[in-house]
Chain A
Amino acid sequence: QKEVEQDPGPLSVPEGAIVSLNCTYSNSAFQYFMWYRQYSRKGPELLMYTYSSGNKEDGRFTAQVDKSSKYISLFIRDSQPSDSATYLCAMSGETSGSRLTFGEGTQLTVNP
């Protein structure tokens, strides 16, 4: 079983929809949680970063971490066609050294 599970999709939504992307994990030592966005034929870019539990908001994006359930989410409000990309979750802990563990990525398409 993978340490981080992420539904690969694909997920297709109409413009303006609220999008919910999720990851579950098994390692209770994970404390640092990130979301990356990867456009086609590009490298991943860091979108959101959260430490431990709680919420973090940045414009239309909200990241949530529920450590008790080992579940993290990324919400995109008022989704735009420019949000069409693959979204990868990533996480690490004190025992991870400098390595991140990535989810497989969810492919999102926002239709005009």
Chain B
Amino acid sequence: NAGVTQTPKFQVLKTGQSMTLQCAQDMNHNSMYWYRQDPGMGLRLIYYSASEGTTDKGEVPNGYNVSRLNKREFSLRLESAAPSQTSVYFCASSADRGRLGYTFGSGTRLTVV
């Protein structure tokens, strides 16, 4: 009964370092998403994968890359972290093209110093 699992939960990076945020879901959902959440900005879509084998840019894709490894896993990579990428990152998944809503993970709190 895990739902959407994100790792790590917390991370501190130095400017210029790289890292990959991992996300896995066990609900057999087709679609997966990466959001960032910042005070006063709400949830902003970074990238999404409507189905296995496809990925598309969202509202704020610059500085990020994604990989839909298989139906269960969707990773987000920061190649060269910047302080502007300090945020809380949420992964989500959905069935039925999101019409019945998303299931979110518990988030990754990332600080770039």
Within 8 A of A (CB), among B71-99: 90, 92, 94, 97-99
Cβ-defined contact, A34 with B101, below 8 A: yes
* Residues 43-83 of chain A, each 1 if its beta carbon lies under 8 Å from chain B, else 0: 11110010100000000000000000000000000000000
- Assuming the contacts A49-B100, A49-B101, A92-B99, asked whether A98 and B107 have C-beta atoms less than 8 A apart, the reply is no
State in angstroms the CA–CA spacing of A100 and B48 once bound together: 11
Residues in A with CB closer than 8 Å to B105 are 43
A98 and B101 contact, CB distance less than 8 A? no
Q: Which residues of chain A are near B61, meaning CB under 8 Å? A: none
A86 CB → nearest B CB, Å: 10
Interface centre among A8, A51, A98 (most CB of B within 10 A): A98
Nearest A residue to B58 by beta-carbon distance? A99
Q: In the bound complex, how far is the Cα of B103 from the Cα of A90, in angstroms?
A: 13
Taking CB as reference atom, which chain A residue is nearest B88? A41
Contact bitstring B26-37, A, C-beta under 8 A = 1, else 0: 000011010000
Residues of chain A within 8 A of B48, CB atoms compared: 98-99
Check A44 against B42 for contact (C-beta < 8 Å).
no
A104 at the binding interface (Cβ < 8 Å) = yes
* CB <8 Å contact, A42 and B50: no
A98 to B92, CA, bound (A): 12
With A42-B107, A88-B43, A105-B43 given, name 17 new contacts (CB 8 A). A32-B100, A43-B90, A43-B106, A43-B107, A46-B101, A46-B103, A90-B101, A92-B98, A96-B98, A97-B98, A98-B48, A98-B94, A99-B48, A100-B98, A100-B101, A104-B40, A104-B41
Q: Give the interface of B toward A (CB within 8 A).
A: 4, 30-31, 33, 40-43, 45, 48, 50, 58, 90, 92, 94, 97-107
**Residues of A participating in the B interface, judged by any CB pair closer than 8 Å:** 8, 32, 34, 36, 41-46, 49, 51, 88, 90, 92, 96-100, 102-105
**Could you name 11 residue pairs across A and B whose Cβ atoms are closer than 8 Å?**
A8-B40, A43-B90, A43-B107, A44-B90, A44-B102, A49-B100, A51-B99, A92-B99, A97-B50, A98-B97, A99-B98
